[in-house]
Structure 1
Amino acid sequence: MKFKHIIVLALSLSTLTANSQNNKNNDQQNKDQKKVLFVLTSHDELGDTGEKTGFWVEEFAAPYYNLLDKGVKITIASPKGGKAPIDPRSKADASQTEATKRYNNDKAAQNLINTTVKLESIKAEDFDAVFYPGGHGPLWDLAESKTSIALIETFNEQKKPVAFVCHAPGVLKDVKNEKGEPFVKGKNVTGFTNTEEEAVQLTKVVPFLVEDILKENGGIYTKAANWNVHVVKDGNLITGQNPASSNKVAETLFESLK
C-alpha cells in the first residue's frame, strides 16, 4: 500500500510540475503577444447632407484580419463606446473585398464593432501600437477629440507605432510632437487625396481636406494615382492613402512591431 501511495504522490507532483510549467508558458506567450489598439469613429452624420457616414469597412477588416491571423491581440475603441457606425457606401457591392466578405460572416468581429470600448478608458501603456481606420466620420469627431489627440501624442512619446489610413491621417490635424509643433511637420506622409475626394463628390461636404491639412501642417505629402496602393513610413508614423492601401498599412505596422 505504501508503494502505491508513493506512486500516486509522484504522479501528483509530476502533474503539478507540468501544470506549473504550462502556466509559465502561457504567461510568457501572453507577455510576448503584441497588442494593438484600433480606434474607430462614433460619428455617423455626413455633414448637412442628411446621409450617413462612419468608418469604412475595408479599412477596418483588412488590417484586422491581417493582424489577427498573425496572433496580434486587438482591442477596438471609439469616442462614445458601444456600436461604431459603418459608412453605408462601404457596404456597396463595388466596395467588397475578401476581407469585407469575411467580416460579413464573422459574428465575433461584428460583436466587437457593436461593443467598442470607450476611448477615454484606454491607456497607451497597455498597447504596443495604435491604428486608425478611415471613413469620413473621423474628420468630424476624432480630429477634434482631445482624448484622441492626447492618446496619439502619448503613443508617440512612448516611441510606439501609430498608423492611419485614408481619411484617418486627418485626425493628426491638431496632434503635436514633443516640441509642440504639428506632429507631421517634416515627416513623410500620405492620406486621401484631393482628387479622390473630388471623385466621390464630397469636397464641399467634409470639414477639411486631408491632403490640404497634412501639407498645411508641414507634412511632406506624397501620393499615387487615385485608388492605387500607397503607404508611407517615417519613423513610428505609418500612413496609407486610400482603402486599397489598408492591408499594406497593416503589414507595415506588423513589421514595426518586431
Structure 2
Amino acid sequence: MAPKVLVVLTSQDKFPANGNPTGWYLPEFAHPYEVLKDKTELVIASPNGGEAPLDPGSAKAFENDPISAKFLKENKSLWTNTQKLADILPRVAEFDAIFYVGGHGPMYDLHSDANSLVLIQEFAEAKKPIAAVCHGPTVLIKAKSTSGEPILSGASVTGFSNTEEDQAGLSSVMPFMLEDELTRVTGGRYVKAAQPWGEKVVVSKVAGSGSTLITGQNPASATGVGKEILKALGL
C-alpha cells in the first residue's frame, strides 16, 4: 500500500494589512505533487476545509511553468474540497508524513493554528517526516514536543529569506520576518541559498524525537522538498 501524505494548505485569502489577495503558492504544491503523486496517496486539508485559496499572483507568475500550468488545469478538485484539519486529528495514525505548502497565507493562520500545532506534535512523537516549503516553515515556529521543547530547538532549517521578502515587496505587510523568527527559535541555525531565489533544501531532525524535518527556502526548492519526502519514506 502506498504511504499516505497529509498536504496542508492555508485558508487565509487576504493580507490583513491591505486586503490584497493571498493564499497558497501554486508551484509549491504543483512541483511536489508531480514528484509524489505516483508513489504516495495524498490527502489535502486546511484549517477551514472546503476551498483553500490559491494566491492568484502565483498563477500569473508561473503561467509559463509547464508543471504549474498543468497542475492548475487538471487538479482543481484537490484544493476546492479540502478536509478540515480538526477532522484529521482523530485519524493522524493513518498518515506517514505531513507537508505544508507555502504562500503568504500560512503566516496568518497556520502559524498559530491549534489543530496544526497538535498535528505537528503528533507527527514528531510518532517519528514521521514533517516537511514545509517557503513560508510553510512558519507552522513550525510555535510547535512544541510533548515535553514542551520547541520542535525546532537545535534543528537546522530554511524558509523564505528577508532579502526575498524585500524583493517581493511584501516585508511591510508581514506580521514578522520569517528568517528572523526561524533564526531565533533554532538558536541561529537558519540557513539559506548563496543567492536569493536559489534552491535550498535542508534535512534535519526534530528535537527529542528524531523525526525527519524537511524545509525548502522558496519556490525553486519545492521539487527538492518533494524528493526528500520520498527519501524519508524510503521510496
Shift of 1:159: 0.1
- In structure 1, runs of 5+ residues without a counterpart are 1-31
What's the TM-score once normalised by structure 2's chain length? 0.92
Structure with greater proportional helix content: 1
- In structure 2, runs of 5+ residues without a counterpart are 206-211
- Residues 53, 86 of structure 1: 8 Å contact kept: yes
Shift of 1:148: 0.2
- Which residue type is aligned with residue 146 of structure 1? A
Match of 1:242 among 211, 218, 223: 218
Shift of 1:95: 5.9
Match of 1:157 among 122, 125, 131: 125
How many residues are treated as equivalent by the alignment? 224
Match of 1:216 among 184, 191, 204: 184
Residue 8 of structure 1: aligned partner = none
Matched, 1:68 2:34: no
1: distance between equivalents of 2:102 and 2:63?
Answer: 14
2: distance between equivalents of 1:179 and 1:246?
Answer: 31
What's the TM-score once normalised by structure 1's chain length? 0.84
Residue 77 of structure 2: aligned partner = 111
SS at match of 2:172: coil
Q: Deviations over 1:181-216 (max 9, x none)?
A: 211111010000000000011112011111111111
1: distance between equivalents of 2:180 and 2:64?
Answer: 28
Seen in structure 2, the aligned counterparts of structure 1 residues 237 and 93 have a Cα distance that, compared at 3 Å, is: closer
2: distance between equivalents of 1:40 and 1:98?
Answer: 22
- Which residue type is aligned with residue 113 of structure 1? W
Alignment RMSD (CA, Å): 1.2
1: distance between equivalents of 2:214 and 2:62?
Answer: 27
- Which residue type is aligned with residue 228 of structure 1? G
Matched, 1:55 2:38: no
SS at match of 1:213: helix
**Bigger radius of gyration among the two:** 1
Residue 167 of structure 1: aligned partner = 135
Seen in structure 2, the aligned counterparts of structure 1 residues 111 and 144 have a Cα distance that, compared at 3 Å, is: same
Give identity over the alignment, percent. 44
